[in-house]
Amino acid sequence: MSTTTEHEDPRRARSRARVLEAAVAILGEDGQPGLTIEAVAARSGVAKTTIYRQFADRDELHVAAVHSVAPTMPMPTTDDLQADVTVFCTALNKKLQHSEFGALLATSIDGGERSASLAKVLSGAGEQRRKVLADRLSAAQRDGILADDVDLDLLSSQLVGPLFYRRFLSRQPTSSAFVAEHVRSVLSRL
């Protein structure tokens, strides 16, 4: 996937920003089916040839658009694993419930069901965010806070899965108090 670098031509960076802004807007309004290179070119005022020089295809553009609004997830590393994980999960919950990222993630999930190549790219893009929690849990296991036999992948899913379920399936609002109690409940059973 193409990335902006500090040595990039300012015109290219501006056109990329306009393309991503247009793609985010289109995804928010029309979802994956509406995201075409032609629609992005028309909305952004950037030529299709320029778009294709920066993005191999519509799936790569889709992922770049979602990534452009994706949050950086905080993960403190204190002596209190529960507090650290609560900070992470609370921030994730807020982004899922109350941000453009949550809305774009919904259309991305739908798009991934329709396009195997998009599903593969999205899975790789999400790995970065999953790694933040996995690294903290792994450190807790190394430090003896979590037992060696705790399945960290399963634990990660138990911690964040309900946040996604409540946002995308049950459509229930999820408060910070719910998140804190959920994290406490999951970790207390280990």
Residue 66 to residues 35, 93, 176, Cα–Cα distance (Å) = 12, 17, 24
**What are the helix (H) ranges across 57-175?**
58-69, 81-98, 100-114, 116-142, 152-168
The domain boundary residue, chosen from 21, 37, 68: 68
- The pLDDT score that the predictor gives to residue 56 is 93
Pair 76, 87: CB distance under 8 Å:
yes
Residue 2 within a domain: no
pLDDT tens for 158-187 read 999 999 999 999 999 999 999 999 999 999
Q: What is the tens place of the pLDDT at every residue in 113-130?
A: 988 888 887 787 677 778
Select from 68, 83, 105 the last residue of a domain.
68
Task: pLDDT band for 2, please (50, 70, 90 cuts).
Answer: very low
Q: Specify the higher pLDDT residue, 37 or 100.
A: 37
pTM: 0.84
- Asked if 55 and 117 sit in the same domain, the reply is no
Nearest to 81 by CA among 136, 132, 131: 136
Q: Which amino acid is at 68?
A: S
